[in-house]
Amino acid sequence: MKTLKTQVVIVGSGSAGLSAGFDLYQKKIPFIMLERGDKVGGAGKFGAHGVFAVHSKQQQAKGVTYDYADAFKGLTEYNHYFVNGELLARFLKLSGENIERMDAMGLSATVEQSEQKAHLNDPLVYHKFNNFKSKMDTWDAWPQKFADAGNPVLTETWAVGLDYDKDGGLKAVLAKNNNDEDLRIETSKVIFADGGYCGSQQMMAAKYSDNDALLNLGERKADGTGIKLCAEQGANVSHNPVLFAHGCAPSLRINPMRRQSSVETLTNLPLLWVDQTGNRFVNEDIVYDFAMWANAAHNVNGKYSVILDQATLDHFKQNVVPMEDTFERQFLEPGETPTGTVGPIPNIQADFDDAIVHGEVVKADTIEALAEKLGLPLTALKRTLKVYNQAVADGNDDTFLKSADELKFGVEQGPFYAIKERCAILGTLDGVHVDRNCQPVTKAGQPLKDLYIVGNNVNGLYSDGYPSYEGIANGFAFVSGWIAATEAGKSLQEA
């Protein structure tokens, strides 16, 4: 077994891990960073486009009046008071300063309107990265900077255990690498920043009845190691399961991160949706709120179908349609304006034919055949189509209240198509109970000495689902990593 020595071990190199490393790097506190993957970064690097903050200098310059009190009350009430008040408060009070801190890291962001149509009139709290590619490049440059300062970043290396005594504290982090080499890293502190447990099929299946339907667009290397190792030392891990649910998509091949198929484009519009009972289940314009859209799908066992006919497909092929692709704004650079339209899409038929071959779309000449292929109750589906087609004809949806300008396409004549949608997730948002310093605590409320856990690994910000506060998970990851590193540094100085 190879033995290494340092003062702090950081497990994970996503937003929380990088933030913790940056703090220790600035304070010249030696650390070793472990990264399970072959490159640094997690969901914050590969998927996130910005962070939430209040009272940043940019917000102050723009005269934004939404402040700490508004955010604290809003999040507390949104989560029905199932929050860690001290942790939430500390995060929010540091969130504005975190924007300037991120700028010093080379991860500059600009406060601007939400990327989601449903939140265009919300207060300006979303700070979008100025350039997505530049963000990726900056992230990739940090390991060398850390290493040059004597802080190794060990990729393809992961924690497997702790040498820990509840009275004496942490002695070492036990690790393994892809060469099957065992490592003992003697250290005084450890910060678990390894991003939750969405990569653990065992943990996911135990917590979510619709796990088989969920489409994981997050970090599959996030296997709950930090949560499990803290639990082994007595940390309280009791909490409602909380998905980091974010939109829907047919498959890993056709999803909003790829933007390569018009099947995905029609997924992102408020067309007709039916669940496994053959019924509508929501006003489809929920598509314009990523979190609520995914939550609606999660509520119907993680899957539903978008139903359309050939006439609708042909219309999109030949015309400009005044409907907004919900993900268009997310892929614009700051200052760019969305078109707010879709089409013409000359290749739409070819895209759908290809998706049929891959099982992401079902096609049938009759409604009876479509219902059979999808396993839907025929009577319910026929009723749904009759009621929906009448709503389109009248311009009035008196059940789910979809606006008239979104009631554009009935489903009347075959061939008929169904896009098979799945609830997409970026990760998980429950794990370990912590105190305001991001130290895991026991059920008796006692902090576990020398251990810190951050980001998507902790409980306290969300009751049962990801809220519509854009960028809050990424913002919390950066700030909680900062908090943990700060507290670890203080403890080292006091020792």
CB 70 within 8 A of CB 188: no
Task: List the single range of 179-193, 241-255, 389-403 with lowest mean pLDDT.
Answer: 241-255
Q: How far apart are CA 392 and CA 396, in angstroms?
A: 7
Q: Is the pLDDT of residue 495 over 80?
A: no
CB 471, CB 95: distance < 8 Å = no
Sheet (strand 182-186) strand order? 2-5, 182-186, 169-177, 157-165
Spatial contact of 410 and 394, defined as CB atoms under 8 Å apart: no
* DSSP letter assigned to residue 395: T
Give percent of the chain with pLDDT exceeding 90: 88
- b/e 190-225 (16+ beta carbons within 10 angstroms → b): bbbbbbbbbbbeebbeebbebbebbbbbbbebbbbb
Please state the rounded mean pLDDT for residues 414-433. 97
pLDDT of residue 260: 82
Strand ranges for 178-229 from DSSP E: 182-186, 189-192, 215-216
Residue 329 binned pLDDT confidence (cut-offs 50, 70, 90):
confident
Pinpoint the alpha helices (H) of 286-377.
290-299, 310-318, 348-357, 367-374
Q: Write down the pLDDT at residue 149.
A: 98
Could you tell me which of 484, 481, 424 has the C-alpha nearest to residue 452? Answer: 484
Find, among 178, 185, 186, the residue nearest to 157 by Cα.
Answer: 178
Domains and CATH numbers, the chain: 2-242+429-494 (3.50.50.60), 243-424 (3.90.700.10)
The predicted-structure confidence for 107-129, as pLDDT tens digits, reads as follows: 999 998 888 888 888 999 999 99
Helix (H, G, I), strand (E, B), or coil: what is residue 383? helix
Please count the CA atoms within 13 angstroms of the CA of 358 that sit on its side-chain side: 16
Q: What is the pLDDT of residue 331?
A: 76
> 3-state DSSP call for residue 445?
coil
pLDDT in tens, 335-363: 788 899 999 999 999 999 999 999 999 99
- 147: tokens are 């290493």
Phi, psi of 35 (to 5 degrees): -130, 120
Residue 227: predicted pLDDT:
98
**Element holding 43 (H helix, E strand):** helix 43-46
Counts of helices then strands in the chain (DSSP H, E): 15, 18
- The sign one gets for the Cα dihedral 456, 460, 465, 468 is negative
Higher pLDDT, 47 or 408: 408
Q: Omega of the bond prior to 143 within 30 degrees of 0, cis? A: no
Collapsing DSSP to helix, strand or coil, 76 comes out as helix
Length reported for the chain: 495
- Residues 421-438 have a mean pLDDT of 97
Mean pLDDT of 436-449: 97
Give the distance, in angstroms, between the CA of residue 72 and the centroid of all CA atoms in the same chain: 21
CB atoms within 10 A of CB 396: 14
pLDDT of residue 320: 97
Handedness of CA 279, 342, 249, 462 (dihedral sign): negative
pLDDT for 156 beyond 80:
yes
29: number of CA atoms within 13 Å, CB side? 24
How does residue 200 score in pLDDT terms, banded at 50, 70 and 90? very high
Confirm whether pTM is higher than 0.85: yes
Whole-number mean pLDDT of the chain? 95
